[in-house]
Amino acid sequence: MVKGLVGFILGGLLTFGATQAAELDVVATSSSMGALARTIGAERAQVTVLASPDRDLHMLQAKPTMIRALRDADLVVAVGAELEVGWLPVAIASAGNPRILPGQPGYFEAAAQVDLLEVGLPANRALGDVHPVGNPHVNMDPVRMAIVASALGERMALLDPAGAETYRANARSFAAATEQRMNAWQARLAGAPGVILYHRDALYLLDRFGVPLLGTIEEIPGVPPTAQQIKALSEHLQGRSGVIVYAPYMSAQAPERLAKGLGWEARRLALDPPIGADGGGYLDHIDLWVDTLSHAR
Amino acid sequence: MALLTPMSALPATDTEIAELRTMLDQMKSQYERRIQDLESRLAKAERDATKAATRSEAAAVRAEEAARVASTESRPMTAPVVTPPASPEPGKTGFGALNSGNAFNPQISAFLDGNYYHDGIDGEGATLVGLAYQPSRGADHGHDHEEDGGHVHGLTENGFNFREAEIAFSATVDPYFDASLFLAIDGDGTVELEEGYFQTRSLPAGLRVKGGKFLSDFGYINRQHPHQWDFVDQNLPYLNLLGPHGLQDTGLQLTWLPKLPVYTLLGVEGLQGNQEIFGATLGDDDQAALELGDTDDGPRLWTAFAKVAPEIGINHALQLGLSYADNNQHQEVQEHTHAHDGDLDDAHDDDHAIEIHRNGLAGDAQLWGVDLVYKYDGGGAYGHKSFKLQSEYLRSIKDMRITSSAHPEVVGSRRTFTTDGLYAQAIYGFAPKWTAGLRYDVLGMTNEVSGSENASFGSSDRWTFDVTWNLSEFSRLRAQYAHNDILQAPGERERFDAFYLQFLVSMGSHGAHAF
């Protein structure tokens, strides 16, 4: 028993020592943010991602293991703009780590680095779970993400000056890699007929490439649609072409019914890349979305 | 007069001309002034526009310079946040959290909690579940002085009840402290301070200090407010061993999150000890009459707790906790009828006793708690397929001596009161926005008095089932049914069914999804 306990503690200390090898202990809320942190931090950063891409980042709970991860973090990378408002502030406050409090260099919000869409909507909850600060899902726009990457590079350089050149170079190469794919994406999405989203979460991608948003399945954020609303949407778009996209944590029922009514395809797509993705993985994730939007019938 | 007319007419035309000329001049100058005014306004607007542009450019350059200076000097940058935002989007400093909070006002939210209640025993049930029999109950014990007003919380009757409106304020005070304030207003308009505390935000090494009046971190459900519960009412062990407010007291808390591979939270609390059941003290008159001694100086209540949460997968969470509390002063009075000489707690209502004897008891109280919480995030829409299992065991031990009695031979003899309790509950999201819950709670698996006198009593238990409809993050409706089997007094049981319909709404800032 005692032996086991000693072994446990020793083992723990050893693993703990191993994670200390990296210069920066980075905690990312989502896999998109994790992908940026991995690409820019490269081997100088140890990245932990808190949320799985198939879970709703807005609805998570502050788990003790998240608090543990934040306890020793040098840097928290969040999407921000109140997307993680339900759990990240609680988790950060509980972590007893003053370096990552909002306002400190150890706190980084992607949404605070770029211009937001839908800023200043009325603060009226009759309109659902609205956030007047702006639509937070900036991770769906690769161009904004390149700007975020550059800001993140500067932030990492600030926290770990010895790696400043590495971080800046990595941010530049991420921007270059994004730039490289932009033309192809633009070409493929030119004339895309449009999309129906469940929630206005891929808005930044559509806005970037001029893909029309034909409608949303939920009329009000956070409120599931009624059969009536689905019927109205179906009648309104009858005869047009497009595609329906919904996040993994949304109910498939309404999208499938609508797809049947319109003769379109309904695709279940995550807003974030797989959990271990790096910068390339993130761009592949955008590829997947471009692919889906460009094949709309 | 005829001569006068042209005379007056002539100078009139002269003055008219002069007047016209001055009018013309005035108009000219007026228009010139207006044109000048417009021109200068235009120029000013142009200047302002360029100024704004250069200002934001300058700010950007300044920020860049600051960042570069800070990074080359390799010291943590803390100041740049104070650069006044020159950009048209205020608050965008890049370091902070974007939010729609308003300036320096605290975050405010209000919860309204009301219900329709019905049981088969004329509405007595909701009070009765908090009075399940145990040999020691503390200050609110005593069959006589309970009815006359006393301290009855959230008295629920058959029919409509407004349980409480809770108003919560929270804000960052300064770089050193956060603070929160929770007020509860019951259906009669009585305001009670639920919590009011400060908490440190910048202590090193995973340390935090909390001070003020707060809900102790003993156990798991203790720190939750009623609107956070998964059932309408509190479980039997907490309700009966700690009272309707749980361990809510004034004092200090220190917690430490050590640098271990597994989440481990250790904490101690020193609290004043003004409790109703767990470590109660009596009034001056009783203390004098029963030779109990005065109330000791605080803090009298000490707690220690440890919580461990191993990593068991990204969509799962498990937390185990062990808690201990010690109130170093507990006093109570126990009554018995003269007819049952020497019997402490026997039925005094049955036969018409002539004399009531009061024994004074003084000592201390200990409480142990073990808790387990497991949560699974099912990933379905609006909580669909999510699961939560929660269970706690509490054991209260009150070690006392008789300080005064009508029977001098028992004075100084020892009485140890032990009562334990357990609850286990599971919640499952059976459809988007809908959850169903099942709870079993029991008080008094051990329910005994030992020492120089030994007696054991039975237990009270209950099965509860509820269905909750979470319409949005801000409102919920709940239906709850419970079958109760409550030990009212030794050998006397009340079995009844109780039904609740509850509404819960929240207004104001976005609530926190704490574990």
Mutate to test the interface with B, among A13, A63, A250 (most CBs of B within 10 A): A63
CB atoms A64 and B263 under 8 Å: yes
* Token digits of residue A34: 């994790």
Q: Which chain A residue's Cα is nearest to B309?
A: A64
Best of A61, A67, A150 to mutate (most B CBs within 10 Å, chain B): A61
pLDDT at B40: 67
Contact B381 A224 (CB under 8 A): yes
Query: Which member of B100, B204, B383 has the closest CB to residue A123?
Result: B100
Reported as a single tens digit per residue, the pLDDT across A92-149 is 999 999 999 998 999 999 999 999 988 877 777 777 777 788 899 999 999 999 999 9
The answer to whether A95 contacts B514, with C-beta atoms less than 8 Å apart, is: no
> According to the model, what pLDDT value does residue B50 have?
54
User: Greater confidence, B59 or B511?
Assistant: B511
Give B-chain residues touching A85 at CB under 8 angstroms: 99, 510
Min Cα distance A133 → chain B (Å) is: 5
| A 154-193 → B contacts, CB under 8 A | 154, 157-159, 161, 164
Q: Which of B77, B201, B382 sits opposite A98 (nearest CB)?
A: B201
With CA atoms as reference, the chain B residue closest to A91 would be: B514
A71 contacts in chain B (CB < 8 Å): 206, 257, 259
Query: Does A164 sit within 8 Å of B99, measured CB to CB?
Result: no
Q: What is the pLDDT of residues B397-433, one digit of tens each?
A: 999 988 888 888 888 888 899 999 999 999 999 999 9
Say if residue A198's pLDDT is above 60. yes
Kindly determine whether residue A157 and residue B71, on different chains, have CB atoms separated by under 8 Å.
yes
User: Among A96, A104, A108, whose Cβ lies nearest the Cβ of B206?
Assistant: A96
Alpha-carbon distance of A281 to A272, in angstroms, equals 10
Q: Taking CB atoms and an 8 Å limit, are B513 and A104 in contact across chains? A: no
Of the partner residues B96, B314, B384, the one whose CB lies closest to the CB of residue A112: B96
> Which residue from A252, A278, A279, A283 is spatially nearest to A267, judged by alpha carbons?
A252
Cα of A184 to nearest chain B Cα, Å: 31
Q: Say whether residue A102 is in contact with chain B using an 8 A CB cutoff.
A: yes
Query: Within an 8 Å CB–CB cutoff, is residue A127 touching chain B?
Result: no
Q: For the residues A185-200, what does the mean pLDDT come to?
A: 92
**Considering only A133-137, B28-32, B195-199, B218-222, which range has the smallest mean pLDDT?**
B28-32
Q: What is the 3-state secondary structure (H, E, C) of chain A?
A: CHHHHHHHHHHHHHHHHHHCCCCEEEEECCHHHHHHHHHHHHHHEEEEECCCCCCCCCCCCCCHHHHHHHHCCCEEEECCCCCCCCCHHHHHHHCCCHHHCCCCCCEEEHHHCCCCCCCCCCCCHHHCCCCCCCCCCHHHCHHHHHHHHHHHHHHHHHHCHHHHHHHHHHHHHHHHHHHHHHHHHHHHHCCCCCEEECCCCCHHHHHHHCCCEEEECCCECCECCCHHHHHHHHHHCCCCCCEEEECCCCCCHHHHHHHHHHCCEEEECCCCCCCCCCHHHHHHHHHHHHHHHHCCC
Q: For residue B489, what are the β-bridge partners? A: B492
Q: Which of B71, B383, B512 sits opposite A89 (nearest CB)?
A: B512
Q: Is A125 on the interface with B (CB under 8 A)?
A: yes
For the ranges A287-291, B176-180, B226-230, B452-456, the lowest mean pLDDT is seen at B452-456
Least reliable range by pLDDT among A96-110, A175-189, A220-234, B227-241: A220-234
First to last CA, chain B: 106
Q: Which of A57, A26, A37 is nearest to A270 (CA)?
A: A57
- Specify which residues B486 forms β-bridges with: B494
Q: How far is B214 from chain A (nearest CA, A)?
A: 16
Q: Are A249 and A55 in contact (CB under 8 A)?
A: yes
Please give the model's pTM, rounded to 2 decimal places.
0.80
Does B95 or B494 have the greater pLDDT score?
B494
Q: How many CB pairs under 8 A join A and B?
A: 180
Mutation for testing the B interface, residue in A16, A101, A199, A218 having most B CBs under 10 Å: A101
Q: Which of B401, B306, B422, B418 is nearest to B366 (CA)?
A: B418
**Domains of chain A from N-terminus onward:** 22-181 (3.40.50.1980), 182-294 (3.40.50.1980)
pLDDT, position B297: 87
Instruction: Looking at the complex, report in whole angstroms how far the Cα of residue B81 sits from the nearest Cα belonging to chain A.
Output: 7
Got the DSSP string for B299-327?
P-EEEEEEEEE----TTEEEEEEEEEEEE
Residue type (1 letter), A265: E
Q: How confident is the model at residue B151 (pLDDT cuts 50, 70, 90)?
A: very low
Mean pLDDT of all residues in B72-78: 33
Share of chain A above pLDDT 90, in %: 67
Q: Which residues in chain B have their CB less than 8 angstroms from residue A68's CB?
A: 257, 262-263, 309, 311
Query: Which residues are paired to B404 by β-bridges?
Result: B360
In degrees and rounded to multiples of 5, residue A79 shows phi and psi of -70, -45
**Helix, strand, coil fractions of chain B, as percent rounded to 5:** 20, 45, 35
- Set of chain B residues whose Cβ sits within 8 Å of the Cβ of A154: 67, 71
Give the minimum alpha-carbon distance from B318 to chain A in angstroms, rounded to a whole number: 8
| DSSP bridge pairs for B372 | B320, B391
| Cβ-defined contact of B377 to A60 (cutoff 8 Å) | yes
